[in-house]
Amino acid sequence: MERRDFLRQVSGGALATVLAGGTGMAAAAAPGARAQRAPARRKAGAAGRPNVIILITDQTSAGLTKRSGYKFDTSPTLDRLAANGVDFRRAYCTIPACVPSRTSMLTGRWPQATRVRMNLDPQDAFFSQDVYQVAHDQGYRTALCGKNHTYKTAQGVDFWRQYDHNKGYKAPGASADIAGFEKWMDELDFNVALEPAPFPLETQLPYRIVSDAIEFMRTTRDQPFFMQVSIPEPHDPEQVPHPYWDMFPPDEIPERCAGREALERLGYRANWLDRLQRAGFPDTEKVWRRYVSNYIGALRMIDDQVARMLDFMDKQGLLDNTIIVRVADHGDYLMEYGLARKGVGLPELLTHIPMIWNGPGIKPRPEVGETAFVSMADVMPTICEAMGAEIPPGVQGRSLLPLLKGEDFPAEEFRSITAQVGVGGLYYDEKDDIPVTVSRGTGGHWDELNGITQSGNAQMVRMGDWKLIYDMMGYGQLYNLKTDPCELTNLFNQPQHAADQATMMAELAMWTIRNQDSLPTGPQNNKYRTKWARPHNWYAPYRHGTAPTAFIP
């Protein structure tokens, strides 16, 4: 099947189901909102350069779609995109927090290089060029539709429609229901909703953000475009309207890998987070199935809006020349261990993210998607090369473009990946006796990202079935995820796993040294002439032997 026919089937078929009442109201737009078929197919872009859309959702764990083995069909449209593109099953964020992870996505740099390691310091971002600037220099029209939560401002971006978790851009003459919805969202105070949202779908942020994206594409004619469609859901507050409420009934939600009984094995800070959570919203554990039901209901709501966007693109002749990359900034505990949201450590639930690439020239490669370890930091350099631009100095991520196009690549380059967490200093522990009130607000407000949960520094590496976490104190965690997917049996320093531990420690050391910052490059370029890994920012082709190896350069 040709990509055009496939995507037309995805968008039209999904939309037809919606219109028939099968999944809800995704296409029941306000009068005039559905685009009419263009009289002729138009091909945005110039000189064959593709349009690029980053479709990013917030706090979305991997493995929650039918295609990935989940019980419920939460994302049929995205699953079809994955089946006809490259679906990376081993994709990881650089850090499980919004601002630093999104900064990595835009700059191609890990947080220790960007200097952004928490949500309160976006202005500290350090880089040579970000993907928006590269796109602008390549003649692209640029847009942000949705959540920003980075150092970016409207200056230098051609189309800017910003949202946060509770509110966002309102078109002139917007319905009074939107103000009512946003007030209701504020009243939830980021906690799980115990009733369906009492406002129409058109007030929901995914619907409004996709409408803005459609407006941007409708007004972009004679140049290629780069657009970030950034949807705040399914991030808390976990809420959905009908028909997504109870679309996946709470009593049918799969059992957890581990409940609150596992907290005693997760350390002081996880238990402190549990106390904070219970102080802010005492019923969180009691309603954990409702939490998950609303969360995955939001995934389906998002998916229906993606179908609406694809339908518009098909009718405007944009699909044939548009690369779509679907990612998430980090994951969610999903009430495993009794925990909501995010906060402590580097568990798979928080670091393992979905990543799908679909577009012109991208060939389905299941074997690559199943084996290659990739990162949020790889998004930016891949887009640079897709636009025909050179990867800027200081970028640490690797271009995935050859993997997407079916070309040969060194498997060793993608045999592992790293992520990090923490803002530095020592860990807070029971001796400090910090009350949870330090991270409480009024009413039911509680903030899981705080000085206690984010204290210290730790870094992880994933390779094969293994995962190693090591921190500034010399504390180690070693897990075999094939036999211990819940990460509850720490094998670190057990003699029978000494060889595996040594291998993983060497891999982590390699990544840590590789990601030491090479910026600024100013004076050194004239004298030292830094040798960059061109093309693709791959190191493996320059390596003598297979790391770790005995060699003196």
439, part of any domain: no
Q: Flag whether 299 is in a domain.
A: yes
Considering the chain, what is the average pLDDT of its residues?
92
Whether residue 139 lies inside any domain: the answer is yes
Predicted TM-score (pTM) of this structure? 0.92
User: Is residue 220 domain-resident?
Assistant: yes
d(CA 358, CA 387): 15
Is residue 14 over pLDDT 50?
no
- Asked if residue 426 belongs to a domain, the reply is no
Q: Domains in the chain: how many in total?
A: 1
Q: Examine the pLDDT at 2 and tell me if it is beyond 80.
A: no
Looking at the predicted structure, is the pLDDT value of residue 88 above 50?
yes
When pLDDT is cut at 50, 70 and 90, the band that residue 28 belongs to is: very low
What is the predicted pLDDT for the residue at 7?
54
179-214 pLDDT tens trace:
999 999 999 999 999 999 999 999 999 999 999 999
Answer yes or no: is pLDDT of 425 > 50: yes
- The answer on pLDDT for 17 being more than 80 is no
Write down how long the chain is: 553
Residue 48: which residues within 8 A CB-CB, separation 6 or more? Answer: 321
Percentage of the chain beyond pLDDT 70 is: 91
State which residues form the domain around 257: 51-268+281-415
Average pLDDT over residues 423-428: 97
Q: List the alpha helices (DSSP H) in 145-252.
A: 176-188, 205-218
CB 235 within 8 A of CB 59: yes
For 362-412, what is each residue's pLDDT tens digit?
999 999 999 999 999 999 999 999 999 999 999 999 999 999 999 999 999
* Position 519 in a domain: no
> For the domain that residue 219 is a member of, what is the CATH number?
3.40.720.10
pLDDT reading at 29 higher than 90: no
Mean pLDDT in residue range 463-489: 98
Longest pairwise C-alpha distance within the chain: 71
Q: What is the DSSP pairing of strand 476-480 with strand 466-471?
A: antiparallel
Using alpha carbons, select from 333, 330, 332, 331 the residue that is nearest to residue 263.
Answer: 333
For 479-498, how does the pLDDT look when each residue is reduced to its tens digit (9 = 90+)?
999 999 999 999 999 999 99
Is 544 inside any structural domain?
no
- Asked if pLDDT for residue 19 goes beyond 50, the answer is no
Residue 296 CA: distances (Å) to CA of 16, 234, 321, 367: 22, 8, 31, 28
Q: What is the pLDDT of residue 3?
A: 55
136: pLDDT strictly greater than 50: yes
Q: Is residue 377 part of a domain?
A: yes
